[in-house]
Homo-oligomer: A and B are copies of this chain.
């Protein structure tokens, strides 16, 4: 993965940056963005505030890097699962993998929430529904389903349902998120893919 800076990085810099990102994910997930000060991040990493700002130009840049790290993990896992499933089964694979991955990585969920709500990263989050809409469109094609479906709305409802289930499983660890995933899969199969 290439560096966010223009030039190549030293080994030590690479290591420091990775360490700072790890520490930031941990702290933001546990205490939230606002309660995670540069001082705390620096202290956890064993350097000073200014030391942190040598590697990242601002607190927000650091949090954005942590956010990108978490997103790339999710995209990699869910993308692989979707590709492994056929086009017709991609939506179900998306739902199941997304929910189980986020269920297994609560720190990542909190990181995603904090990063999205604490900054205007609306750029990439703006059209998150488009990926899901494409999945639905391809699945309908593969199944030979005609008729016009409002793909954007369908994708938004699907995505919002996933978010909501994940948030609840985070709030109540006893909640059965995989059962909820199956309910959502059934809803999509019978309501959007038929």
Q: Does A68 contact B (CB under 8 A)?
A: no
Q: Chain A interface mostly helix, strand, loop or mixed?
A: helix
How far does the alpha carbon of A159 sit from the alpha carbon of B191 in the complex, in Å? 17
Task: With a 10 A CB-CB cut-off, give which of A154, A164, A186 has the most chain B CB atoms.
Answer: A164
Within 8 A of B (CB), among A110-130: 113, 117-118, 122, 126, 129
Inter-chain contact A180/B168, CB cutoff 8 Å: no
Whole-angstrom distance between the Cβ of A24 and the nearest chain B Cβ: 17
Closest to A168 in B: B156
Of the candidates B34, B160, B179, B190, the one whose C-beta lies within 8 Å of that of A164 is: B160
What residues of chain B lie closer than 8 Å to A122, measured between beta carbons?
171
Most B-side CB within 10 Å, residue of A122, A129, A161: A161
Sampled A-B contacts (30; CB under 8 Å): A34-B34, A34-B118, A113-B117, A122-B171, A126-B171, A150-B180, A150-B183, A152-B175, A153-B165, A153-B180, A153-B183, A153-B184, A156-B164, A157-B161, A157-B164, A157-B165, A157-B180, A157-B183, A157-B184, A157-B187, A158-B161, A159-B164, A160-B161, A160-B162, A160-B165, A163-B164, A186-B191, A187-B187, A187-B191, A187-B192
